[in-house]
Chains A and B, each alone.
Chain A
Amino acid sequence: KQEVTQIPAALSVPEGENLVLNCSFTDSAIYNLQWFRQDPGKGLTSLLLIQSSQREQTSGRLNASLDKSSGRSTLYIAASQPGDSATYLCAVKGYSTLTFGKGTMLLVSP
């Protein structure tokens, strides 16, 4: 059974810092990996999707990498802003379904 772990569970940084969120998974037979953002009381917003054949994806200040063989992904956020405060979820897709980590709660203080 696929298991997804996200470290750290919570992170607090001052505005302007670059930061890295980590995601690890136990079964490397994945089709893709998605990073989501969830604001309190809201739904999930897809940030980046990395297909299994890709190594990284970039969107604005966000960069996600994937190392399938080692079962790891990182989400890099450059020049963090208070508006980046949210919970970030990593999810890996097996044959049919996504398996989620429990998320990293990020707080960026002004």
Chain B
Amino acid sequence: NAGVTQTPKFQVLKTGQSMTLQCAQDMNHNSMYWYRQDPGMGLRLIYYSASEGTTDKGEVPNGYNVSRLNKREFSLRLESAAPSQTSVYFCASSGTSVPYNEQFFGPGTRLTVL
């Protein structure tokens, strides 16, 4: 089991460029999440998908879009990158019901926007 995988691991963009961050899980989890982590701000939720076919905004959704491609995959897209989006992005997944609602994280994508 690979758990939660993310690609790429590192990325440098110029302001205005677009990119998609990929996430996949092999734990048959219903729910998937995208977070960003910034110094002094902690981890903040961008978007989540409670189940296949649904997506909802989190705390900081502006400037991002998501796609729940299937049960395994959840992608995050930056349409026009801004320096304020320089951050570390984490994908996570979890089951829905007790006791399977523990959240597992991927290794992260370190994004720099120049």
Contacts and interface: CB of A to CB of B under 8 A. Distances in A.
Interface of A: 31-32, 34, 36, 42-46, 49, 51, 89, 91, 93, 96-98, 100-103
A41 to B, nearest CB: 8
Closest 5 A/B residue pairs (Cβ) = A44-B105, A100-B43, A102-B42, A43-B107, A49-B102
Interface residues of B, number: 24
A89 B108 contact: no
A100 B98 contact: no
A51 B99 contact: yes
A101 B48 CA distance: 19
B48 to A, nearest CB: 6
Interface of B: 31, 33, 40-45, 48, 50, 56, 58, 90, 92, 98-99, 101-108
Nearest to B4: A43
B66 to A, nearest CB: 14
Contacts of A91: 43, 103
A81 to B, nearest CB: 23
B105 A43 contact: yes
B56 A96 contact: yes
A38 B41 CA distance: 15
A36 to B, nearest CB: 8
Contacts of A100: 42-44
6 contacts: A44-B43, A49-B101, A97-B33, A98-B33, A98-B103, A100-B44
B11 to A, nearest CB: 15
Contact of A93 (B43, B56, B58, B101): B101
Nearest to B45: A97
Contact of B102 (A34, A97, A101, A102): A34
B64 to A, nearest CB: 15
Nearest to A95: B50
Contacts of A101: 42
Nearest to A103: B42
A26 B107 CA distance: 29
A32 B103 CA distance: 11
